[in-house]
Amino acid sequence: MMNIMTTNNLTVAIAVPLEAELVEAIRAAHPAVTVLYEPELLPQERFPADHAGDPAFVRTPEQEARYWELLNSAEVLYGFPNENPAGLAAIASSQKLQWIQAMAAGAGGAVKAANLPAADLARITVTSSAGVHALPLAEFAMMGVLNGFKRTAELAADQAVKNWPELRTPTRLASGSSVVITGLGEIGMETARLARTLGMKVSGTKRNVEPIDGIEQVTDTAGLPGLVSTADVLINTLPGTPYTEKMINAEIFNAMKPGTVLVNVGRGTVVDEDALLEALNNGQVSYACLDVFAVEPLPATSPLWDHPRVMVSPHTSALSAAENRLIAERFIKNLSSFQAGEPLLHTVDPVHFY
């Protein structure tokens, strides 16, 4: 871990688009900190929390030089340069840099993709926005559960062809059903809270197995087949790491009872998509609500696009109009800890990248 700066001679550079009022909020909360923000060097947001900004934006050579001059003068960055792993790799050589506040909850993937030397990983702390997205992700997950239980895909298909089925098909009750959540972190626990309000019984997995109030059973990944064998729903909230890649695979799908609903609001790489398609086609999975995919954008050739019992969401379930404000508020609190030499919240593990 890095040596935290405790002096007031501290510079923060805003590397991504951010509303001017939020920049001023950072300055007002930390008047002794120099906050560098030159909006003409940054692309315009196309929608709320568009951290990468308009892809058509191009800096002049003079602006490009100025952008990197600002970033290299700072001990703290708000956002990855150009909001991509290449920008992180480029700035990592700055010997002044000590901490980067990432915009993404799953920032570990970008840190890993930057392929930084071990010395830089040890020197630079990266904090993610994990937890900021907990409520919108949890709400989206519950929408997916209810879509599956209430057969909305079938209803939409019948409506499209103006079909009024002769036989009435019953729907399933959320109340009394069982849900398994892989990853009982902030997102998983918020999802569990909403599930319990619908009367669902919640179990899940956690790297460090320990009893959790309100959770029926907690296991590690090895216990997942046993959990899903009696579950009605499986919700993934796990990040993408080498340890979670294709964790939800044929073994897990085969262990499910027929008709299980799958929701993925974690990372696409956690689910083996070929195995998922087989499970959808053989009835082990009755419905899949997917916000994330192994390859994004989802290729046009993917059969998931056209599957009648799959909802494809373009990795937008975490977005809300409040996101920029919530990340800025978290940064303000973490900046106080940084100046005091205290541990920062939501640091990215430089070994496991989550």
Q: CA–CA separation, 154 vs 157, rounded Å?
A: 5
Q: Dihedrals φ, ψ of 248, to 5°?
A: -95, 95
Going by C-beta distance under 8 Å and a sequence separation of 6 or more, which residues neighbour residue 322?
none
C-alpha to C-alpha distances, 2 to 78, 148, 230, 267, 334, nearest whole angstrom: 17, 47, 46, 28, 15
Of all helices (H) and strands (E), which one includes residue 289? strand 285-290
Helix ranges, 256-322 (H): 273-282
Query: Which one is catalytic: 38, 69, 251, 296?
Result: 296
Query: Which one is catalytic: 123, 193, 315, 352?
Result: 315
Query: Which one is catalytic: 30, 133, 172, 267?
Result: 267
Helix ranges, the chain (H): 20-29, 61-72, 85-91, 108-114, 118-123, 134-150, 152-160, 186-197, 224-228, 250-255, 273-282, 323-340
Name 178's bridge partners: 201
75 is catalytic: no
Name 77's bridge partners: 13, 100
C-alpha to C-alpha distances, 30 to 26, 76, 94, 239, 291, nearest whole angstrom: 6, 13, 23, 32, 37
Going by C-beta distance under 8 Å and a sequence separation of 6 or more, which residues neighbour residue 10?
32, 33, 34, 75, 76, 339
Name 264's bridge partners: 236, 290
Structural contact between residues 51 and 103, judged by C-beta atoms closer than 8 angstroms: yes
296 is catalytic: yes
Q: Looking at the chain, how many residues does it have?
A: 354
Residues catalogued as catalytic: 267, 296, 315
